[in-house]
Structure 1
């Protein structure tokens, strides 16, 4: 995959003409503004297809109310690609309290309202209105995590597969390079989109049972069986999720089939195999402009670019196993790291950027210090579907080794034009503590070279019950890391602080658990300015807990904080020293029968 013509991908007929194109092979409709940077899905997939010889145009944030807005680039030769953006459009629009957000970091000037609610559905509807018979392929976070029946927090209902609701032809889930390239090549050879049914990492629809069902595909509980709120439906929904989870390893997964109302079906082919290191290297070294399209200059650019513009993606995938995180269902658990040489080359490219000031803002992925396969099985692209790597205890096969990551960081520090290399994407402190050979050396290097005054970590809670629901280990490990971090900075003569993230109102958390966390914060003299409320989003185990009141791992009942009042009380306890929270803290303590703590927490 060699370099292509410089410049942005075309967003209008004039830019197409400058490239000498009469039409595009694919047009990517995106809910985000067009930023030509590998942290943005529209750039990553479009540049990847371009490197394979396809002509790709970009249609960012079209006016979904006007079908003519989908004709700006004309009719694509092969298909429309649709992605709601780097964030689920509903998460982009609404807080965990379902209140509208006032800003959208992925839109020009941070302006809200430039993409619709449920953007994937609206965009496909608009394309169909403009071109009735054109193939449409959907993908990304929004579509991929809604590929089967899913709980929708914003309407408090279980909705059917987005593939059925949108009437798109194919849904690509997970990391899309392998499936989208196969689909593109087959369409390019003249194969009808209706005949493309067997692509790994893709879902297709059918009327009547898919033939794959009789050839070994596993059947999920029907949509009709999981959409209601009675005990049988709730249990079926939890089983529905666990069957998907157990069929997520590319090496062992079987196809899955789900029937919806009216005998409509969705077939999910097994996941695509993760990209290898050399493939990942090539994708991230494609000729990105690393800027927002100039059409956004007058609005002040696109805010989301600021944090990632000078960051390096060092890995994909995460074997952390947090119950509240959808990365398992999107990037997958098998981890692929980029080579040191590729990261150095990309960093050297950054130094030529006109706005580069010498600072690399991050070197990481979903978890920064996961850099390399966790065990021999992951090294082959697979994992144990029935087990987690770090929960409830670290797997004996888990290999914690920070040496490759340290060597990469050192190579980046040694680039002449680089003043500082930060790590901001977060580290797993339990993984660091597990590395008995090199963990302390990594902590020293981390504190000495890669922290900008504060290190963000995510213990999430301190209650054993809540941590178990989260799929996290005991908080003693965090306490040890907190001491080690403080001692290391003291030895180095540095004043650097630990900023822990905690989640309020997570399934499993009672008012008593929130009080326990508040007392811990009082003892440790840390109270966060902001608290992250649990947000039920598609594709996570804890969203299943929220919907069903069951732990899908055991099918046992689990406590779920419900209602704005209880959520508000739990949240206030985590900010007990804020004057405006005093009345709520008193109410929470009285509700829990712990008036004895009023004087302790509020003094």
Structure 2
């Protein structure tokens, strides 16, 4: 954070400097803390510049020139969502800033910070990440300006964009830059995006597929007259542009395993070309088509690289990162976080920190696929869970080291409270699946919905000496919960502090179907179970639908 701290550590320079739009809180719920501790564990000297004054270049020179690269993030939230209301009015507070003070970050912070660090020290590689960069990696509709904008790579002029959960890609790219490799030559890492000349391919073995091979763009046809007895023009029966008879080819007999292996190998060297920025910015049908292809190519097990032209250059997206294994998740969350805001903030009130200071993140990802939500596209559809011992160690750490802890853990959760350890029953099916949601329109028959591991975790957590109460503060997926009455009973009896958040979002099927949310019947069933088990436990408890 400061040159004085560098001097105290005996550092004359930092290997990596991270710039963030949030206050610096050394806790795994805050992206820059996690990234900083992860890189520190690899032996690198990491500096952090938090909420710099972007109107001047001087704050970006506070820690000197980084030896390897700059890492840029807007913070835990998109800077536009953080700063503006849905009415496009500036918010009166910022939960990620000391004393909730507003206006401590610029609009489109990733772009502004990246431009400033280029000005501070030209020639140093710039890597951008965070949810702001991840969700803006291709041409995208921007609500705030009401237009389709180019990839953030163009506006920020970053050398590399790392999207989604970035741990593996970040460690790999750091090692390669430290070994002397030019960042412009690092083109093979999953979870990365970069700019290349239009038509660039990694080598001659790669093939390009048009996106229409993945999804057919819709066409708005004239609605037929249901009362017409005959066509006014018989020529309308003719096929437009009838294709010639296909060439007869011999059938090649292959086993199922051979077909799958051939398909995987072909996908590994295939890039899908999306409609260009110029096309999607003018044609809503092609924008919707590009978005659908983008979503269909999101399973790490079968996703192909994507490319999209912007003028005379391409944005190249490698396939999404593979999910972290349980031991890797444990390693990330077991790093030596201070679990507190930086001392320079003194006794300042930081709402985002106060909300999570007694909570424990037990998993990542969400297979819900709700159309209004970014979690699936950012963290992935495959659930990444920590082990029981790792979670229990963190609870004990909170008990032993967190000031003013009164014995209540406010949340054991993540993006969804009850997806811990849930997964596809068959790894091969999971790797080949292209469904956008595992639970819509109905829960997939291949999805395991056994909540027993989560029940076991709850019981062990509340048995820890000194722990008086374990509450569940994350949103609950109630269509999954009703599959396990034992879980609902456990939750209602022991882990609700009077109020429980759930998200029906709406009551009408038409609207819910557009959201890819379950019908209101699932909510009614959960409400019935909730009230039944609350009564049996002798508790007056209520649901908070949102």
What's the TM-score bracket when you normalise by the shorter of the two chains?
Answer: 0.7 to 0.9
2:16 is aligned with 1:26: yes
3-state SS in 2 of match to 1:81: strand
3-state SS in 2 of match to 1:354: coil
**Equivalent position to 2:482, from 417, 433, 440:** 433
Give 1:50-449 correspondences, 5 Å limit.
50-212=40-202, 214=207, 216-228=270-282, 233-261=283-311, 263-297=312-346, 300-352=348-400, 353-377=402-426, 382=431, 384-434=433-483, 439-449=484-494
The structure whose Rg is larger is: 2
3-state SS in 1 of match to 2:316: strand
1:379 Cα deviation from its structure 2 partner: 8.9
* Distance of 2:305 and 2:500 partners within structure 1: 42
1:290 Cα deviation from its structure 2 partner: 0.8
Runs of 4+ in structure 1 deviating by more than 3 angstroms, as ranges, are: 212-215, 377-383
3-state SS in 2 of match to 1:266: strand
2:130/2:164 contact within 8 Å kept: yes
Give 1:503-522 correspondences, 5 Å limit.
none
* Change over 3 Å in CA distance of 1:48–1:378 after alignment to 2: farther
TM-score of the pair, normalised by structure 1: 0.78
Give 1:532-571 correspondences, 5 Å limit.
none
* Distance of 1:208 and 1:497 partners within structure 2: 57
3-state SS in 1 of match to 2:38: helix
1:376 Cα deviation from its structure 2 partner: 2.8
1:378 Cα deviation from its structure 2 partner: 5.7
1:245/1:385 contact within 8 Å kept: no
| Structure 2: unaligned runs, 5 residues or longer | 208-268
1:54 Cα deviation from its structure 2 partner: 1.1
Q: What CA RMSD, in Å, does the superposition of the two structures yield over aligned residues?
A: 1.3
2:513 is aligned with 1:471: no
3-state SS in 1 of match to 2:195: strand
1:383 Cα deviation from its structure 2 partner: 6.4
1:76 Cα deviation from its structure 2 partner: 0.5
TM-score of the pair, normalised by structure 2: 0.86
3-state SS in 2 of match to 1:92: helix
1:380 Cα deviation from its structure 2 partner: 8.9
3-state SS in 2 of match to 1:182: helix
* Distance of 1:259 and 1:135 partners within structure 2: 23
* Distance of 1:31 and 1:274 partners within structure 2: 26
* Change over 3 Å in CA distance of 1:380–1:280 after alignment to 2: farther
1:61 Cα deviation from its structure 2 partner: 0.6
Listed one character per residue, the Cα deviations across residues 247-284 of structure 1 (whole Å, up to 9, x for unaligned) are: 111111111111102x0211001111010000101111
* Distance of 2:495 and 2:529 partners within structure 1: 16
* Change over 3 Å in CA distance of 1:379–1:499 after alignment to 2: farther
* Distance of 2:187 and 2:357 partners within structure 1: 37
Task: Count matched residues.
Answer: 481
| Structure 1: unaligned runs, 5 residues or longer | 1-10, 502-603
Listed one character per residue, the Cα deviations across residues 312-337 of structure 1 (whole Å, up to 9, x for unaligned) are: 11111111121111011100000011
1:301 Cα deviation from its structure 2 partner: 3.6
2:535 is aligned with 1:490: yes
3-state SS in 2 of match to 1:190: coil
3-state SS in 1 of match to 2:503: strand
1:29/1:123 contact within 8 Å kept: yes
**Equivalent position to 1:453, from 498, 501, 517:** 498
Listed one character per residue, the Cα deviations across residues 563-585 of structure 1 (whole Å, up to 9, x for unaligned) are: xxxxxxxxxxxxxxxxxxxxxxx
1:289 Cα deviation from its structure 2 partner: 0.7
